[in-house]
């Protein structure tokens, strides 16, 4: 477990609101009080039962969004999420979030994202590289301080209208020089239509923005096939694929973001022994271990590596290679990849 903690790690699938600390959530609930929309006692109970089914997760996200969608809170949860990933020895974090409008708080999708960037600037336990070589938080030129590369993905929620989804893609383009590197499609997999979102994803592709899709969280063969036809840069989850779709995924070699704890807790996969990680790993399919929602599922990236090691019998060299190979799938540029590759070379001598 300690070795998994020391291992430098790359996180490619982390949702901002899913990564809120429990302590912060409970404080937000307390400050919010009972107001007819949320009743503190009910929310506390929901937090205790969190993450135990896909349906419960999405009920809870609706509550998180009531509690956390104002500029100050967005800033705070971003700062805390990055500090938590850095404390877990994550050297590259691709943090995704759904830009939200909240008219009551004077919030637009752009001002939501500005609050995220403000949160990154407030991180003070580690240096943050957000824009490229420039270190936004470099303190007193101390070369020994830890550093984390943070890049942002803008999530489109599956329930959005086409125009709103296109708006998110345009915002990502507008913020390309501010650390935004791609687009994610997420949200409740039982709602929304692929055809509604497709024009926005095609727009992203035309603009040169990489795309990752949540795929196969529920059985929906038609949609899974449409996602494979789209051939995105990465896919998340890929749990419930029919045999022919599974073979197609493998032949397309689309890198997969694997979220072990999330898939087990939501009961998308009944037991870790049956998790498709084993088959993909054996077939040398490109993949990367990820947390999905550290807060919601009470996990860390180290814990995901530990779980993989214990459940699938991987040794230190295999674990190291797994972490190192994730560098190939980041949406950041070649410069960042080179830095990360160098970090792994340095770490090899130290921990292997
Ligand atoms: P946010 O985008 O608000 O920062 O993070 C929470 C949102 O991410 C949720 O409302 C949901 O749209 C998405 N999300 C988080 N975890 C999952 C997951 O496991 N599956 C899917 N499909 N969406 C998720």
Q: Whose CA is nearest to atom 5 of ligand 1?
A: 17
pLDDT tens digits, 49-91: 776 788 889 989 998 999 999 999 999 999 999 999 999 999 9
Which residue has better confidence, 52 or 303? 303
Indicate which residue's Cα is closest to atom 6 of ligand 1. Answer: 17
Ligand 1 atom closest to Cα of 187? 12
pLDDT at position 159, please? 97
Domain boundaries, the chain: 2-351
CB of residue 184 inside a 6 A radius of ligand 1: no
- Kindly state if the Cβ of 293 falls inside 6 Å of ligand 1: yes
Q: What is the pLDDT of residue 134?
A: 52
Query: Is ipTM > 0.90 here?
Result: yes
What pLDDT does residue 327 have? Answer: 98
Q: Ligand 1 in contact with 263 (CB < 6 A)?
A: no
Residue 185 CA, ligand 1 centroid: distance in Å: 9
**Which of 13, 18, 157, 224 to probe ligand 1 with, by most ligand atoms within 8 A of CB?**
18
pTM > 0.90: yes or no: yes
CA nearest to 115, candidates 79, 151, 161, 158 = 79
Cα of 268 vs centre of ligand 1, distance in Å, is 15
The CB of 155 under 6 Å from ligand 1? The reply is: yes
Q: Indicate if ligand 1 lies below 6 Å from the C-beta of 157.
A: yes
pLDDT per position as a tens digit, 202-224? 999 999 999 999 999 999 999 99
Q: Relative to the CA of 62, which ligand 1 atom is closest?
A: 10
Q: In the prediction, which pLDDT does 167 show?
A: 98
Ligand 1, atom nearest to 68 Cα = 3
Percent of the chain with pLDDT over 90: 86
pLDDT digit string (tens) for 4-50? Answer: 999 999 999 999 999 999 999 989 988 887 665 667 777 778 777 77
Q: How confident is the model at residue 136 (pLDDT cuts 50, 70, 90)?
A: low
How close is the Cα of 139 to the center of ligand 1, in Å? 33
So which residues are the catalytic ones?
Answer: 217
Tell whether the model's pLDDT for residue 135 goes beyond 60: no
Q: Whose CA is nearest to atom 14 of ligand 1?
A: 187
- pLDDT at residue 143, rounded to an integer: 61
The per-residue pLDDT of the chain, averaged, comes to: 94
Q: Is 18 in the pocket of ligand 1 (CB under 6 A)?
A: yes
Cα(216) to centroid(ligand 1), Å: 15
Q: Is the CB of 17 under 6 A from ligand 1?
A: yes
Tell me which of 3.50.50.60, 3.40.50.300, 1.10.3720.10, 3.20.20.140 is the CATH number of domain 2-351.
3.20.20.140
pLDDT higher than threshold 60 for residue 254: yes
Decide if pLDDT at 133 tops 60.
no
SS (HEC) of the chain: CHHHHHCCEEEEEEECHHHCCHHHHHHHHHHHCCCCCCCHHHHHHHHHCCCCCHHHHHHHHHHHHHHHCCHHHHHHHHHHHHHHHHHCCEEEEEEEECCCCEHHHCECHHHHHHHHHHHHHCCCCCEEECCCCCECCCCCCCCCCCEEEEEEEEEEECCCCHHHHHHHHHHHHHCHHHCEEEEEEECCCCCCCHHHHHHHHHHHHHHCCCEEEEECCCCCHHHHHHHHHHCCCEEEECCCCCHHHHHHHHHHCCCEEECHHHHHHCCCCCCHHHCCHHHHHHCCCCEEECCECCCCCCCCHHHHHHHHHHHHCCCHHHHHHHHHHHHHHCCCCHHHHHHHHHHHHHHHHHHC
- In short, whether 189's Cβ falls inside 6 Å of ligand 1 is yes
CA of 350 to the centre of ligand 1 (A): 36
301 CA to centre of ligand 1 in angstroms: 17
pLDDT cut 70: percent of the chain above it: 94
Decide: 69 in ligand 1 pocket, CB within 6 A: no
Q: Which atom of ligand 1 is nearest to the CA of 100?
A: 3
Cα-Cα end-to-end distance for the chain: 15
């Amino acid at each position: 477990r300690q070795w998994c903690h020391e291992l430098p790690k790359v996180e490619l699938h982390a949702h901002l609101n899913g990564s809120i600390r429990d302590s912060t959530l409970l404080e937000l609930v307390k400050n919010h009080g009972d107001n007819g929309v949320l009743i503190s006692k009910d929310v506390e109970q929901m937090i205790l039962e969190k993450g135990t089914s896909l349906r419960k997760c999405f009920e809870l996200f609706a509550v998180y969004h009531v509690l956390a969608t104002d500029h100050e809170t967005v800033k705070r949860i971003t700062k805390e999420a990055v500090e938590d990933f850095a404390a877990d020895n994550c050297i590259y974090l691709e943090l995704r979030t759904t830009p939200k409008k909240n008219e009551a708080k004077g919030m637009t999708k752009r001002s939501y994202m500005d609050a995220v960037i403000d949160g990154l600037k407030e991180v003070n336990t580690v240096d943050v590289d957000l824009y490229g070589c420039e270190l936004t938080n470099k303190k007193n030129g101390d070369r020994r301080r830890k550093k984390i590369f943070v890049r942002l993905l803008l999530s489109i929620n599956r329930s959005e209208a086409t125009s709103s989804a296109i708006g998110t893609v345009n915002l990502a383009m507008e913020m390309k020089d501010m650390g935004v590197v791609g687009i994610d499609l997420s949200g409740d997999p039982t709602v929304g239509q692929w055809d509604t979102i497709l024009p926005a994803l095609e727009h992203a592709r035309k603009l040169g923005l990489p795309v990752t899709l949540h795929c196969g969280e529920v059985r929906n063969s038609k949609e899974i096939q449409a996602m494979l036809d789209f051939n995105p840069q990465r896919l998340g989850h890929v749990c419930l694929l029919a045999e022919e779709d599974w073979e197609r995924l493998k032949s397309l070699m689309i890198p997969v973001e694997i979220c072990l704890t999330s898939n087990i807790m939501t009961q998308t996969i009944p037991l870790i022994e049956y998790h498709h990680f084993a088959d993909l790993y054996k077939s040398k399919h490109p993949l990367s271990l990820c947390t999905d929602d550290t807060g919601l599922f009470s996990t860390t990236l180290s814990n995901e590596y530990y779980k993989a090691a214990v459940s699938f019998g991987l040794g230190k060299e295999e674990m190291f290679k797994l972490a190192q190979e994730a560098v190939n799938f980041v949406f950041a540029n070649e410069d960042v990849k080179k830095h990360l590759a160098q970090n792994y070379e340095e770490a090899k001598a130290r921990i292997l």
